[in-house]
Amino acid sequence: MNHTLHPQTPTFRLDLLLAAPASRAFLFLALSFVVSPLSLYVSRLYSLVVVLALIATSLFFLVIPKFSLEGVPTPIDLPCAIFLGYLAINGIIAIGAGNHMNNVMADLVSPLQVYLCFEIAKRTKFSAEVVYGWIKWLLLFATLRAAWQIVTTLAGIHMLAPIYDASVSSPLATIGGFTYERPIDPVSGIIFAVALTIYLTGFERKRSVMCAIASAAVLILGMTRSEWIAGILAVGTAMWYAGLLRKALSIAAIVALVLVLAFAVVPGLYSAVSDRLITHTLEQVSESSQEDAALGALRILEFGTAMEKFKTAPVFGHGLGSWFGTDVTRDQSELIFVQFHNSYLNLLANAGLVGVGLLLFILLRLRRFLLAGMRYEDATVRALFCVAIASLVWYGIFMAFEPIYASYHLPVLIGILWGMATQKYYYHLRRLMQKPST
């Protein structure tokens, strides 16, 4: 059995794409679109249409008898299908009750994308060479995306991140005397955790370091606290399951040293980061009036609203697409409606205890599946499961700070990584079972 993480193949083999099955090719296009700079120029709605079209095309080729492959059963298939089935029924009833179809679809898209990409990827053949090639392309596209955002930020070129609608302007930030438009990009956030995990597992060192550094620069410029929190916890969780936590802590010490040197060279950077991460956070938490719409007060109001809605429909919720939120005022004049900045509160209010319970059951079964994969002796399988859990933990934490519709792109990456890990795991397991006993 091959235990190496580095197959002896050329760097970017064309046959990884040109000779690929049709379903795998369209899946690769979806992944490339998500992490490349291209999606930065496409609005959230059009990005969603492009991604869903590529996923649907990949799924279409997969179900054709000529192209269909052997199913790969996992412990999470049935729970995921039940969860999505419940959400679908809930959504249909909600539409019949008057909820807007677009709002219902917004609640359905993310779990549907994770499920479809997972099911497609785990049924698609991924040799060690193909897996290695895909990881290289992923890191390359993500590095180019981050580098381009750094260039446009420093050059003052207007760039609209896909988390925003076209009518919303990105907030400004100041480092020293330099005021610029913050490059808030959840894709770079999750890629930072993925790239760092890839490096720590030894899967691909040089490209993962470049990608992690470029993505970290975007996060520093964006000063997005939720992405940093998610990144640290995601990498820590992945390394804990991999038994590499001590190694991760040593890397964290090096990163901290680099940051100290950067703060010494650019004092304005330290002031900006400390103001954003510490001072600004404490000010927002301490303020509690509804009029100034401070972050801490807003989160408390959102939680109260969610609990009130939950009490009136605790079992099945009010239906997907209800889009509950909180009315806040700014300058004591303009009334602004703010949807829940917490996807779990949104799920609780809309799908009730049944929806939340099914999600928790999936996570428990997923953990069992992860532990089985991490016990497997093949290094590639273990590395893929590490990267997959890092992506899922990052997304799970980030969604505690954002509405579910805020990042339609990320579920594609999560589903594909879990599908690739699953396919490699069962492929090696079948080979082991087919070996004649000695």
The pLDDT profile of the chain, 438 residues, written as one tens digit per residue, is: 344 565 544 444 444 444 457 788 888 999 999 999 988 888 777 888 889 899 888 887 766 655 545 667 888 989 999 999 999 999 999 999 988 888 888 889 999 999 999 988 888 888 888 888 899 999 999 999 999 999 998 888 876 666 665 445 567 778 877 888 888 889 999 999 999 999 998 888 889 999 999 999 999 888 788 888 899 999 999 999 988 888 888 878 887 888 788 788 877 777 777 776 666 665 555 554 444 445 666 777 788 888 988 999 999 999 998 877 766 665 555 555 567 788 898 899 999 999 999 999 999 999 999 998 888 878 888 999 999 999 999 999 999 888 877 777 899 999 999 999 998 888 766 655 555 544
| CA 167 to chain centroid | 24
Confidence at residue 328, expressed as pLDDT on a 0 to 100 scale: 62
Neighbours of 179 (CB within 10 A): 10
Roughly how many angstroms between the first and final C-alpha of the chain, as a whole number? 15
- What is the Cα–Cα distance from 305 to 339, expressed in whole angstroms? 10
Phi first, then psi: give them for residue 336, nearest 5 degrees: -125, 135
- What is the Cα–Cα distance from 391 to 135, expressed in whole angstroms? 14
Sign of the four-CA dihedral 174, 179, 181, 187: negative
- What is the Cα–Cα distance from 18 to 390, expressed in whole angstroms? 30
- What is the Cα–Cα distance from 200 to 178, expressed in whole angstroms? 34
Who's near 343: CB < 8 A, 6+ residues apart? 399, 400, 402, 403, 404
Confidence at residue 169, expressed as pLDDT on a 0 to 100 scale: 57
Confidence at residue 2, expressed as pLDDT on a 0 to 100 scale: 42
Confidence at residue 12, expressed as pLDDT on a 0 to 100 scale: 45
- What is the Cα–Cα distance from 418 to 121, expressed in whole angstroms? 8
Sequence spans of domains, the chain: 19-288+338-434
The three state secondary structure string of 132-171 is: HHHHHHHHHHHHHHHHHHHHHHHHCCCCCCCCCCCCCCCC
Give the residue from 330, 323, 321 showing the smallest Cα distance to 306: 323
Residue 218 near residue 227, CB atoms below 8 Å: no
**Residue in this structure with the two tokens 């899967």, named with its chain if needed:** 203
**What predicted TM-score, i.e. pTM, was given to this entire model?**
0.86
Q: Is 338 helix (H, G, I), strand (E, B) or coil?
A: strand
Who's near 249: CB < 8 A, 6+ residues apart? none
Sign of the four-CA dihedral 23, 26, 27, 28: positive
Q: Is 288 helix (H, G, I), strand (E, B) or coil?
A: coil
Q: Give 328's Cβ-side CA count (13 Å radius).
A: 23
Neighbours of 436 (CB within 10 A): 4
- What is the Cα–Cα distance from 324 to 345, expressed in whole angstroms? 10
- What is the Cα–Cα distance from 164 to 143, expressed in whole angstroms? 21
**Residues in the chain, total:** 438
**Residue in this structure with the two tokens 């038994």, named with its chain if needed:** 243
Buried b (16+ CB within 10 A) or exposed e, 355-369: beebbeebeebbeeb
Parallel, antiparallel, or unpaired: how do β-strands 178-181 and 334-339 relate? unpaired
Long-range contacts of 358-367 (CB under 8 A, 24+ apart): 358/79, 358/82, 358/83, 358/86, 359/83, 361/79, 362/76, 362/79, 362/80, 362/83, 365/75, 365/76, 365/79, 366/75, 366/76, 366/392
Confidence at residue 403, expressed as pLDDT on a 0 to 100 scale: 80
Q: Is 337 helix (H, G, I), strand (E, B) or coil?
A: strand
- What is the Cα–Cα distance from 416 to 421, expressed in whole angstroms? 9
Residue 216 near residue 227, CB atoms below 8 Å: no
Who's near 151: CB < 8 A, 6+ residues apart? 157
Confidence at residue 80, expressed as pLDDT on a 0 to 100 scale: 93
Tokens of 363: 């996570």
